[in-house]
């Protein structure tokens, strides 16, 4: 509130100066001209969720509360290795390895494809340290999307620890994570069924506007998170390749 008062004081000083210098009777301040009084915005609104093929949206708990994070996965020519980047802790790196092993075990893509590519998983905004197992389902979803060519649905975020056999285990900070998703206008959240009891902690006015799906297994996550078919552009590219032949 103290900083807010300072901003209001700055607006009043600059408005008073404008009135005196330009001999105006009054000054009207609107969202459109606010920059003339306060300068360049200190905080820019960014879009965190842009789900697509190989891109999923996860939820993390930090010292500042819940945060929305993007997980990106791409394939490059190689021999089936996994690369991880971002400011990740050891637990999160292990979760990524477990997610990769699980997705490979499901044989979502031909073995020839997996063995002839390396896979790179990246979590942007590396200045924010991240650790914990709760991004396991998010990383597995990004990889499954990449393997199948099926885009991750828009407006979906998720959290949950993943085991090698596909079980989704409970996580901490569900309330803060759901609020973070709500704050970023992502209204569908997939979360571990074992955390159902914590839904009562979420403010009713927020809970009423969210679609909260409890899940027990990774198969349920993929059924809810992925589009039913491959991205149109990939289908078109495949048809074009066939026509050339």
Distance of alpha carbon 68 from alpha carbon 45, whole angstroms = 13
DSSP 38-87: H-S-SS--------BTTEEEEEEEETTEEEEEEEEEEEEESSS-EEEESS
45: Cα separation from own chain's centroid: 15
Q: 118 forms bridges with which residues in the sheet?
A: 76
Rg of the chain (C-alpha set): 23
- CB-based burial of residue 242 (10 Å sphere; 0-12 exposed, 13-18 middle, 19+ buried)? exposed
Collapsing DSSP states into helix, strand and coil, what is residue 36? Answer: helix
d(CA 133, CA 68): 15
Continuous segment of H or E residues that includes residue 229: strand 226-230
Give the residue numbers annotated as catalytic, written as ranges.
Answer: 134, 177
Torsion of CA 230, 235, 238, 242, to 10 degrees: 130
CA distance 121 to 139: 8
CB 141 within 8 A of CB 222: yes
């Amino acid at each position: 509130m103290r900083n807010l008062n300072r901003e209001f004081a700055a607006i009043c000083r600059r408005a008073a100066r404008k009135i005196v210098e330009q001999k105006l009777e009054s000054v009207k301040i609107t969202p459109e001209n606010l920059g003339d009084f306060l300068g360049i915005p200190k905080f820019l609104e960014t879009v965190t969720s842009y789900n697509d093929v190989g891109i999923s949206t996860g939820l993390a708990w930090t010292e500042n509360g819940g945060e929305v994070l993007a997980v990106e996965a791409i394939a490059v020519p190689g021999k089936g290795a996994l690369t991880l980047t971002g400011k990740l802790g050891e637990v999160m790196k292990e979760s990524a390895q477990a997610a990769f092993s699980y997705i490979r075990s499901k044989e979502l893509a031909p073995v020839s494809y997996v063995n002839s590519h390396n896979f790179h998983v990246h979590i942007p905004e590396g200045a924010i340290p991240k650790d914990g197992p709760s991004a396991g389902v998010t990383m597995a979803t990004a990889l499954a999307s990449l393997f199948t060519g099926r885009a991750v649905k828009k407006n979906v975020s998720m959290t949950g620890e993943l085991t090698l056999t596909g079980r989704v285990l409970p996580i901490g900070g569900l309330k803060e994570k759901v609020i973070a998703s709500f704050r970023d206008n992502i209204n569908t959240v997939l979360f571990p069924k074992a955390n159902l009891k914590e839904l009562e902690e979420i403010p009713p006015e927020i809970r009423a506007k969210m679609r909260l799906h409890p899940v027990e297994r990774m198969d349920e996550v993929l059924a809810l998170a992925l589009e039913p078919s491959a991205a149109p552009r990939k289908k078109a590219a495949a048809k074009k390749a066939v026509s050339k032949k």
